Amino acid sequence: MALNEIGVIAPPAGVTPDFAHPTRHLHTANRVVVIVGTTASAISLLVRIYSRLVVVRKWMLDDTVLVLSWMFAAITQSVLLYGYTHAGLGIHQWELTVEDYNKSLKVLMAGAVMYIPALGLSKIGLIILYYRLSDMQRSWRIILWSFTIFVISYMVILECLFLFGCNPIQKAWDVAIEGQCISRASIFLAGTCASIFIDIVLVITPLPVVVGLNMAPKKRVGVACMFGLGGLSLVTSCMRLVSVVPMLHTNDESYRLGAMVLWM
């Protein structure tokens, strides 16, 4: 067997690797989600920008933050789309050569580094919206500032873990280099748990404010539903958690990533 036909790990007993036509986990689903999700979010963002610049004629800080969040998200999805198609994401490691697996590691790192600010900025944008729309007491403002500091802190920590989590650093994208790395699955798990926590907080926090608003009951329900849209992020975070946990107990990480990145 030629060197380029040897997988990163040995296949299970009775399994013959197919390097020409490897098994791809959720390959089509991931591509559809990337294309449809990016297109839908782009249309929504353009509608928001048009509303702000043409209709309302007032651009706010949360608008800038959300635009930046979308830009990072679009880059993330583009990187992952390349990963599904050309870099081995969602393929069993016994059907990936060392060269292909290293390529998947580079794509994974690039996607993770871009995804962290995309996710964090979207939450900060929502916090800014809460701060701007609510006539809150000083205690509420302190709470929101605390949430912002928490989000920024876990963004910085996660970025550092992905960028500097290996010794030597090059080990993160080259499996042939001797060294040690912090478990990527553990980093994903920590980030997902932090995301779930802040999502729950952002869903619950505005409820007392909405209840106290001086408006008709129907409008109050409408505002509550608008804030409740933040719960969609909570749903995706929970689904991501479900897909991350199996990664803690497998040596076939590239295949399991097919399920996890579906919810990024």
> What confidence score (pLDDT) does residue 1 get?
44
Q: What is the 3-state secondary structure (H, E, C) of the chain?
A: CCHHHCCCCCCCCCCCCCCCCCCECCHHHHHHHHHHHHHHHHHHHHHHHHHHHHHHCCCCHHHHHHHHHHHHHHHHHHHHHHHHHHCCCCECHHHCCHHHHHHHHHHHHHHHHHHHHHHHHHHHHHHHHHHHHCCCCHHHHHHHHHHHHHHHHHHHHHHHHHHHCEECHHHHCCCCCCCEECCHHHHHHHHHHHHHHHHHHHHHCHHHHHHCCCCCHHHHHHHHHHHHCHHHHHHHHHHHHHHHHHHHHCCCHHHHHHHHHHHC
Which residue is listed with tokens 């042939």?
176
Residues of the chain with pLDDT > 70: what percent? 87
The band of 216, judged by pLDDT with boundaries at 50, 70 and 90, is low
- Does pLDDT of 150 surpass 90? yes
Between CA 17 and CA 189 the distance in angstroms is 30
Between CA 108 and CA 89 the distance in angstroms is 8
> What confidence score (pLDDT) does residue 51 get?
87
CA angle 208, 59, 47 (to 5 degrees): 85
Q: Cis link prior to 168 (omega < 30° from 0)?
A: yes
Q: For 111-114, which contacts have Cβ atoms below 8 Å and span 24 or more sequence positions? A: 111/76, 111/79, 111/80, 111/83, 111/261, 111/264, 112/158, 112/162, 112/188, 113/159, 113/162, 113/163, 114/72, 114/73, 114/75, 114/76, 114/79
Span 19-27, mean pLDDT?
82
> What confidence score (pLDDT) does residue 214 get?
65
CATH class of the domain at 24-263 = mainly alpha
How confident is the model over 48-97, as pLDDT tens digits?
Answer: 899 889 988 888 888 999 999 999 999 999 998 888 888 888 888 898 88
Can you give the pTM of this predicted structure? 0.85
Q: How many CB atoms lie within 10 A of CB 257?
A: 31
Q: Are 122 and 63 in contact (CB under 8 A)?
A: no
- Does pLDDT of 2 surpass 50? no
Q: Are 154 and 194 in contact (CB under 8 A)?
A: yes
> What confidence score (pLDDT) does residue 215 get?
63
Q: What is the mean pLDDT of the chain?
A: 84
Higher pLDDT, 263 or 59: 59
How confident is the model over 102-149, as pLDDT tens digits?
Answer: 999 999 999 999 999 999 999 998 888 878 766 666 777 788 889 999
> What confidence score (pLDDT) does residue 219 get?
60
- Does pLDDT of 237 surpass 80? yes
